[in-house]
């Protein structure tokens, strides 16, 4: 048991959540409720895959149509690059969402072994999102800096 | 457990993920936490960009209304989704300390996240199409 803090107003430390010697061991098992939540998410993940597919197709069509409509040579390469990058990013996320949806559907159909596949798909999904967010965050920071600098220097 | 349609375990008996699965869950929580923090930053920056661009070129009209509506919806959706992903990661971490019902809470937050993100993706697709048609 940790010693009580000297300061009664001190906020709880993150280490307060750590297991201590003598504590009862935590049983790591998937409860029925947790399983029901995974099953209940399956239709939404499937819908997310469908809607993302439609959004990618729309973005591609409207992007190319915009380029064809006003083919200014200076900005054409930049716009083509943007359409290509956003399509590549969205498609790579869609691939993981589809894998997640397939595993969740198997679980919903009664395949108990699919729990591991759903968890693996969760790792894949968040890992992919995280890796994509690193450069995106940099670009958003630069964009925000430019936008705010434009207002300040006005 | 009630016999629901699509009951994942109709034969009874608890499903038993392996220790590797639980280790993967820990990794998922780590990446989810990072994604949530990045999401909070993006939603904050979106709000700043909205204020900055609105101040810079305020022109009443459909285009300005569209730009503001899109940024407001994006800021709320990204911020809300980041909050749900953060709650997922936090509850997964709690599960390794105190067991259930933290994991059920984590998966519920994840389900809410998928609902929010599906609706937001749909909204984006509809506004993209609307604006493309309106520009013609």
Provide the ipTM: 0.79
Residues in chain B within 8 Å Cβ distance of A37: 104, 107-108, 110-111
DSSP string, B92-104: HHHHHHH-TTHHH
Contact B52 A151 (CB under 8 A): yes
- Does the pLDDT at position B51 exceed 50? yes
DSSP string, A91-124: HHHHHHHHHHHHHHHHHHTT-TTHHHHHHHHHHH
Residue from B7, B8, B48, B87 to probe the interface with A (highest A Cβ count within 10 Å): B8
- Give the pLDDT of residue A121: 92
Q: Chains A, B: CB contacts under 8 A, how many? A: 187
- Give the pLDDT of residue B41: 86
- Give the pLDDT of residue A26: 66
Residue B18 CB neighbours (<10 A): 11
- What's the whole-model pTM score? 0.78
Q: How far from chain centre, in Å, is Cα A21? A: 36
- Give the pLDDT of residue B16: 72
Average predicted confidence (pLDDT) for chain A: 81
- Give the pLDDT of residue B32: 93
What would you report as the CA-atom Rg of chain B, rounded to the nearest whole angstrom? 20
């Amino acid at each position: 048991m940790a010693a009580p803090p000297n300061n009664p107003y001190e906020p709880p430390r993150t280490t307060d959540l750590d297991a201590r010697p003598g504590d009862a061991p935590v049983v790591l098992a998937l409860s029925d409720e947790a399983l029901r939540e995974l099953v209940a998410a399956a239709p939404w993940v499937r819908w997310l895959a469908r809607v993302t597919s439609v959004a990618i197709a729309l973005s591609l069509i409207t992007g190319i149509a915009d380029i064809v409509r006003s083919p200014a040579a200076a900005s054409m390469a930049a716009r083509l690059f943007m359409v290509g990058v956003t399509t590549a990013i969205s498609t790579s996320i869609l691939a993981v969402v589809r894998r997640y949806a397939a595993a969740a559907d198997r679980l919903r159909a009664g395949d108990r072994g699919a729990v591991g596949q759903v968890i693996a798909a969760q790792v894949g999904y968040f890992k992919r999102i995280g890796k994509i967010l690193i450069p995106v965050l940099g670009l958003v920071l630069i964009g925000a800096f430019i936008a705010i600098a434009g207002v300040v220097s006005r | 457990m009630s016999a629901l349609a699509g009951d994942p375990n109709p034969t009874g008996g608890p499903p038993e993920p392996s220790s590797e699965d639980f280790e993967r869950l820990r990794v998922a929580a780590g990446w989810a936490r990072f994604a949530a923090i990045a999401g909070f930053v993006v939603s904050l920056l979106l709000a700043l960009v909205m204020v900055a661009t609105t101040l810079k070129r305020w022109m009443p009209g459909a285009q300005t209304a569209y730009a503001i509506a899109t940024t407001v919806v994006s800021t709320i959706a990204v911020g809300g989704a980041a909050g749900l992903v953060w709650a997922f990661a936090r509850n997964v971490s709690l599960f390794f300390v105190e067991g259930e019902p933290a994991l059920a809470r984590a998966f519920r937050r994840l389900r809410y996240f998928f609902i929010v993100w599906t609706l937001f993706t749909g909204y984006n697709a509809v506004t993209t199409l609307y604006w493309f048609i309106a520009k013609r």
